[in-house]
Structure formats: structure tokens, C-alpha cells
Amino acid sequence: MTDTGRIWDELQVLGGRAKERNMKQLFEDGDRAAEFSAGFDGLLFDYSKTNIDAETRDKLILLARRAGVDVRRHAMFSGERINMTEGRAVLHTALRATDRARVMVAGKDVLVGVRETRARMAEFSTAVRSGDFKGAGGAITDVVNIGIGGSDLGPAMAVQAVTPYADGPRCHFVSNVDGAHIADTLAGLNPATTLVIVASKTFTTIESMTNAATARDWMAQAVAEPGQQFVALSSATEKAEEFGIASERVFGFEDWVGGRYSVWGPIGLSLMIAVGAEGFGEFLAGGAAMDSHFQTADFDQNLPVLLGLIGVWNHQVMGYATRAVLPYEQRLARLPAYLQQLEMESNGKRVSMNGAPLKMEAGPIVWGEPGTNGQHAFYQLIHQGVQVVPCEFMVAAEGHEPDLAHHHRLLVANCLAQSKALMVGRSLDRAREMMAERGLTGDALEMQAQHRVFPGNRPSTTLAFDKLSPRRLGQIVALYEHRVFVEGVVLGINSFDQWGVELGKELANTLGPVMDGGDLPEGTDGSTRALVEFLRRS
């Protein structure tokens, strides 16, 4: 048995003990809240409301060390090709590196190109914001970003998150190939004052290019040269030029930037246009600060390491299948979806790095909604359902609406109440007392009391910060990126490929002509054949 194999076995024993223990017991000795929390640069990560004791934490940290988290971390930041199945480096961190940094790949400092592209982005975004870059009808009033996956989720999430800092043109996002998405987005916009950003690394993504062609046709109805109001975020300059976009409005990036990690570079152009180059720089600075923390902090105070190990404990050891991300911040409404892609596309794997079948499940199911909305939707299951759902709360001390400070106080109170309720629950004895106080007796009392029992002992973490800003957003996004990395290394998988996306694309390409009246491929299954026939008739 390998060293990590023994540690996994020991963790399973500790997990068995934890399942028999109520985490409230862990608060009886010492200052658990202080001992089971860690802070960095305005962030406080509290994981005291988990069923992890000091022995378990030490064992998890030992697992991370034996799995080589520190070694793989150095390899990633150094530009080694840790994405082995695609033979690529993983350097989204280079997109937010400090001005003094150097990152060598194949003998070349890649940051030279990164800085040149960022300077071009800053010049262009400044021209758009100032009105120096104009559409056929004058200054740009609206920006439509067309992308899908990371080319959409990242900038859409970020632009919404920093709304109080956005003083540029209005930004809109189109991703779904469903015509309703682009039709509804373009409705009411003036094509003569709209800038369209097409985000596709290869400039061949079928959904994005279909939407881009539709947007170009829409703009051509009012603009003589619609290509003049298009921008490409792509490495395929020639294809963009064929589409009608001049090379000076093409912003490329290297293959060592994965889509779900790409908001830090050209894919973040809409964010830069919204908040300006300086605001975008603050976003990058937050990410760079978290990079430094991840590389230098001891594991027991390292936020990405702790967050990752708690994820491993909850999913692989305790067997909890899902994870709920619950930001008590309306402007982070898209963050759960963003983190859903980040985690499930990265770690949703079935084989280890060497291709051998995994002996345990890898990535959990990630989902969530902002508070307090979720409280009136799915929190019923979280509190009283049979399955346990670990929760990850986020909350700021201060909102951006001083005249509505009472709203924010109520928001924070709800966040703290929910994490406390998940831990302490409500006993049957207390429920009986409550029903007796209402005058119930006998079977009626017992029945009503049973419905009011909360099992409690349900784990949660809370990430608290002062105020949501571009810098704080950068820290949070980078924190979760590195969390996914830590989990992937511990599980021995490649977090940076996504072959599971490919098969559906291939089959869609074969079925597209069928929906236009073509013949079904030989060997098509009966279900697909019947569905095609129904949809053709309808």
C-alpha cells in the first residue's frame, strides 16, 4: 500500500468517528472559532462549523503533502506542462502576474506578450469608454459579449459582481445558441451604438459563431460596415479577419489559458470596458495576491489548501455528494454557476493522471443561489432532508447602498443564522416543548413536534470580507481556482482538460444536418430516431 493509501484509510477511520459525533462537542474545548479559521488580506475563512478536529486537519494536510501539492504547485507556476493529456502548461496565473514577474516557457518569458496584449486592451477599452472609439451612430452605449462556457460565465459573473464600480457602457452577454437568447438581448439596443465582442479561442465554436453571424446580420441593417463594430477575443486572427474584424481589434491568448480560467486576460475585455483599466487592474491584483498567499502560506493557514482539503473531507471521506455555494451578496448571483463550471469541468473525471480508473468519486455536484433567495427555495432540504449538503456561505460586512444599510444588516443576520441553524438544529425534546406551549397534547403534539425537528450537525464554511470590490472579487475567484487545483492533485487527476465536453459536440455535428432534412446516420438508436421523427413532424 502506498503512503497516501494508508492516509486515506486513516481518514476513513476518522470519518467514521466524525459521523458518530456532533460537531457542537468540538466547541466545548478552547477557542475553536479562532483555531479553525484563517485570514488573509481582508478575508476571513471560518471552517469551525465542520466536523473536523485537530487530528483530522493534520491528517488532511499530511495527505496534501504526500500527494505533492507543493511540488505540483511549483510546477504550475513555473510553466511546466502539467496538463499532460494536452501537453500544455497551465498559466492563467501569468495573466495576473505582477509587473516584475517572469514566467519562462520553452526559454521565452510569456509575460512579455501578456503585458503587450493587456496594454492594447487598456488602450481600446479607454477609447470605447471615452467615446474616442465610435460606432456608426456615435459613442458606444452597449457592449454585447458573445461566448459560451468560460468565455461567457467568467465575464458575465464578474461584470455583475462589480456593478457599483461600472461607469462604462452597458454590458450584455449572449451564450445559448437558442435564438431566444440573442433575440432578447439585441431587442431594444441600437446597432449603430453597439459594440459586439466575439469570444472564441479558435473562432470556430459553433454556438458562438452562429450567434456572431446573427449579430452581424442585425447590425448590417443599420451599419454599412458592421465589422467595424466587432471585436474578436481569439487566437485565430485570420478567421476573425475573414469574418470582417480588423487585426487591431483581435486580442489573442495562448493555449496555456483554459476557457474556465480565462477571465483574467482578453476574455475579460467586457469587464475592463465596464470598470476601466484601473478597476480591471485591481481585479488582477486581487488574484495575484491570492497567488502569492497560495505559494507562501503554511498549509494550516493557506486558504486554498484548507478549502480544498475540506472539500475532499466532505466528499471523498464523508460521502456528501453535493456542495452548495451560497453568497449572501446579490451581485454574486452568477458566482455559483461560474464555480459549478470551474469545479465540475475541472474535476469531473473518472480516471487518474495515468489513465487508471479512479477508486473513488472525484468532483462533487456544485450548485447554489444567492441568499436570501435560496432560503425560500431549497433550504428546506438542506435543513431537514435526509441527505447532507455541505454549505459554503459568503458574506460582506458592508454593502454598497448606505441609504439601505438596514437591508444589509438583515442580510448578514440571515447568513449567520443559517450557518448556526445548520450546526445546532432543533431537538425533538425542544420541539415537544414548543408544541406543548401551543396547547397541543397526545398524538397531535407528537406528530407536530416531529415535523419541527432539525437534525443539525450539518457542515458549513463561511468566507467573510469587508466589501465586495474588484480586488476582493479577484481574491475570491483565484481562491476557488486554487481550491480546485488542490483537490485535483490530492485525487491524482488532471484538472485542466475537459474531454467530457467533446462527445456531445461531435454527435451534434452529425445530427445538425438531420434536423435540416438529411438522413439519420446508420446505426442511430431507436430513441433518437423516434425523437427526430416527432420533432420533424411537429
**Mind telling me the catalytic residues?**
345, 376, 505
204, containing H or E segment: none
DSSP state, 521? P
Do residues 21 and 51 make contact, with C-beta atoms less than 8 angstroms apart? yes
Nearest-angstrom CA–CA distance, 124 and 227: 16
DSSP state, 225? -
Q: At what angle do helices 206-220 and 502-515 cross, to 10 degrees?
A: 50
Do residues 97 and 103 make contact, with C-beta atoms less than 8 angstroms apart? yes
Of the candidates 104, 163, 79, 84, the one whose C-alpha atom is nearest the C-alpha of residue 349 is 84
Residues in the chain: 538
SS3 content of the chain, % helix, strand, coil (to 5): 55, 10, 30
Other CB atoms within a 10 A radius of the CB of residue 136 amount to 17
Q: Where are the beta strands (DSSP E) in 178-241?
A: 194-199, 230-233
Q: Which residues contact 518 (CB under 8 A, 6 or more apart)?
A: none
Specify which residues 351 forms β-bridges with.
357
Other CB atoms within a 10 A radius of the CB of residue 51 amount to 23
DSSP state, 50? S
Nearest-angstrom CA–CA distance, 385 and 465: 30
Q: Return the SS3 of 461.
A: strand
Q: Where are the beta strands (DSSP E) in 112-240?
A: 134-135, 138-139, 142-146, 170-174, 194-199, 230-233
